[in-house]
Amino acid sequence: MCSIFGIIIKQKTETTPIESTLTALKMLEYRGYDSAGIASKGDKALQIWKTQNKDNKAEGVDMLRKQMTEMGVISFPTQIVIGHTRWATHGEISQKNAHPHSSQDGNFAIVHNGIIENYIELKEFLRSKGYYSVSDTDTEVLVNLIEYRWNETGRISFEVAVRQAVSEIEGAFAIAVITSSEDKMIVASRSGGLFVGITAYGFVIASDQSALVAHTKDCFEVESDCLVVLTPEKYEKRTIVSNQEVVPDIKKIELEISQIQKNGYEYFMQKEIFEQPKTLTDALRGRVRPFEGIIKLRGIEEHLRRIVQAKKITIIGCGTSWHAGLVGEYLFEQFTRIPVEVEYASEFVHRNPILGEKDIVIAISQSGETADTLEALALAKKSRATVIGLCNVVSSKIARMAGVGVYLHVGPEISVASTKAFTGQVAVLTAIALLVGRQKGTITESDYMRHITELAELPSVVEKYLPYFDIVAKEIAYEQLHSDHALYLGRGYNFPVALEGALKLKEISYIHAEGYPAAEMKHGPIALIDEKMPVIVIAPQGDETYKKIIGNIQEIRARSGRVIAIATEGDTEIVSLVEKVIYIPRASEHLIPIIAVVPLQLIAYHNAVMKGLNPDKPRHLAKSVTV
Ligand code: G6P
């Protein structure tokens, strides 16, 4: 949610600081793309360039680059630059609300991620002191407060002014501030999620480590309640409130540039869908070992006894991660017989949940920084439940707060709509459920052996079917192009898949879509069915719900609905009942979600592309919802 990048250098670099900032912002744009902007320190004054994303095509950074190229300022002589891409919270999407924001007298410029909760009081206070805001943002209030404190303290120290101002604000934030009067950049955070990269030519800062990799692999985090003062030569990290020096924990970034590039694909979403055979392999590698007959999950090994003895498992997450959690509910109940509840993280925190020492809470989050999931996790920790994190981003906030957990290892997911993280989450949940089930004795040894073998083979199954899924999905997407609505139906394990398929279509194709348990259709959605309504039914053979699903298909047909079925290869019966079939291989019912979701991801993807939409950056959405 909003991205920050900055650079401060002591010597000339191959690419100019502004060029580097534009390149990094393009990479970070998935975090928010309502507007983009850059501020840099010239000889005497600060310069700011910004632009809003006008047509929802998410080309903000490209537009900014174009403008700056036309103005001839890409090689503007500067050693210090900060940049930002915005996901609007306070104030409409407009040029005036775009970051960076300048202080009233132009002495400071700021970029900010987060929300300043007491900005109205501060705005009033500043107004009484003669400071007026130009924008509607909370951010401008902070930069004016910095300037006010700077003036008040005799203009002696940039650092003192920033420290004082940030101590007065309430809420979580990450900021980078520059001034016209000193060759310094100050970054501060009350939420973490800001990183400083150390290079031979100076320092780079970013809200995501992926934007640092082009410069360096050595970085440290600006943890919550810390502030870092950067000059071209050195850095100093201190606590905000007590002003104590903190020794940074410098770590190596475990990312390769190729992981954050499209590598020949048109969009990241396409790349991430097609990566799934590999990402599933990576998620299971060394963990699911059919030849030895074991599942090894080091992250939860020490806590296995507590999980086996759990009274209840509560799974929390948002968006796609919540859908993976729903599949988890079926998995745990089938294999471990432990009761499971799946909660939206945002609801969980306001429900005064009943949790105790014997409970297990699993927080699922691709990014590991979703604010609601983080808050829910903090609440679960207080209740003394055992908390497990299922995150993709290593060392992310949720992963660190949980302390115990399993990483997905599916590599960076850049496209806003989550794909490979979902299949990775379900694969890891399957491994955990099988492991716990075996320990608990709620699964027979022969079933366990059969299931781990099948799980280990899953990546190659997905690989084999992907080219075929792509072709059929494209045809379906084309036929659906002009539909305004779509219904997705599934039963049991495939109900969450129906929800996920509908979410993908809504998110990136802007078609109103609903996911429903197939039998519930009769209690409402059936009223919507007519000859224009595509109904996608996940109808695999092999469990007792198949016959019932066929019944549901008949009900849709009787009302002239257009059915597209995801069916088991060899099911010739279904062909006469539906408009189109996507065949999936025969597999155990608990593994169907990982296979069946892939064509649904592809339908949404192709539909968006055919409409000329950018599937990587759907309107109004952001990859990490940190507010
Ligand atoms: C946003 C993203 C979704 C994602 C959800 C949860 O809404 O657009 O793709 O599923 O956040 O994110 P998390 O990182 O916690 O899994």
Domain check: are 119 and 192 in the same one? yes
Domain check: are 534 and 444 in the same one? yes
In a domain, 436, yes or no: yes
CB-ligand 1 contact for 536 (6 Å cutoff): no
- Closest protein CA for atom 5 of ligand 1: 319
Q: What pLDDT score does 48 carry?
A: 94
d(CA 192, CA 401): 12
Q: What pLDDT score does 52 carry?
A: 83
**Distance (Å) from CA 111 to ligand 1 centroid:** 23
How many domains are there within the chain? 2
Longest dimension (CA), the chain: 83
**Distance (Å) from CA 421 to ligand 1 centroid:** 10
Domain check: are 293 and 236 in the same one? no
CB-ligand 1 contact for 623 (6 Å cutoff): yes
> Could you tell which of 623, 626, 627 is best to mutate to test the pocket of ligand 1, judged by most ligand atoms within 8 Å of the CB?
623
Q: What pLDDT score does 58 carry?
A: 53
- Positive or negative, the CA dihedral 334, 337, 339, 340 is negative
Q: What pLDDT score does 625 carry?
A: 67
d(CA 373, CA 387): 12
Q: What pLDDT score does 104 carry?
A: 95
CA distances (Å), origin 245, targets 227, 255, 574? 10, 29, 69
Q: What is the CATH number of the domain that holds 303?
A: 3.40.50.10490
Q: What is the CATH number of the domain that holds 164?
A: 3.60.20.10
In a domain, 247, yes or no: yes
Q: What pLDDT score does 92 carry?
A: 79
In a domain, 623, yes or no: no
CB-ligand 1 contact for 321 (6 Å cutoff): yes
Domain check: are 524 and 597 in the same one? yes
Q: What pLDDT score does 627 carry?
A: 64
Domain check: are 242 and 279 in the same one? no
In a domain, 624, yes or no: no
> Could you tell which of 625, 626, 627 is best to mutate to test the pocket of ligand 1, judged by most ligand atoms within 8 Å of the CB?
625
Q: What is the DSSP letter of 336?
A: H
CB-ligand 1 contact for 626 (6 Å cutoff): no
Q: Which domain holds residue 75?
A: 3-260
Q: What pLDDT score does 57 carry?
A: 59
Q: What pLDDT score does 7 carry?
A: 97
For residue 539, what are the contacts with CB-CB under 8 A and spacing of at least 6? 546, 549, 550, 553, 565, 566, 567, 574
DSSP 135-165: SS-SHHHHHHHHHHHHHHTTT--HHHHHHHH
**Distance (Å) from CA 93 to ligand 1 centroid:** 22
Q: What pLDDT score does 177 carry?
A: 98
**Domain end call among 244, 260, 276:** 260
Q: What pLDDT score does 68 carry?
A: 93
Domain check: are 247 and 282 in the same one? no
**Average pLDDT for runs of 10 along the chain of length 627:** 91 88 91 89 91 71 92 88 88 85 96 91 95 91 96 92 95 94 95 91 94 94 94 96 94 85 92 97 96 94 95 96 98 97 92 89 95 92 93 90 93 94 98 97 96 97 98 93 90 96 96 92 85 93 87 90 94 92 96 98 97 89 71
CB-ligand 1 contact for 503 (6 Å cutoff): no
In a domain, 616, yes or no: no
**Domain end call among 260, 287, 322:** 260
DSSP 554-603: HHHHTTT-EEEEEEETT--GGGGGSSEEEEE----GGGHHHHHHHHHHHH
> Could you tell which of 326, 365, 366, 620 is best to mutate to test the pocket of ligand 1, judged by most ligand atoms within 8 Å of the CB?
366
**Domain end call among 260, 283, 311:** 260
- Positive or negative, the CA dihedral 479, 481, 482, 488 is positive
Q: What pLDDT score does 410 carry?
A: 95
Domain check: are 394 and 302 in the same one? yes
In a domain, 427, yes or no: yes
In a domain, 440, yes or no: yes
Known catalytic residues? 2, 623
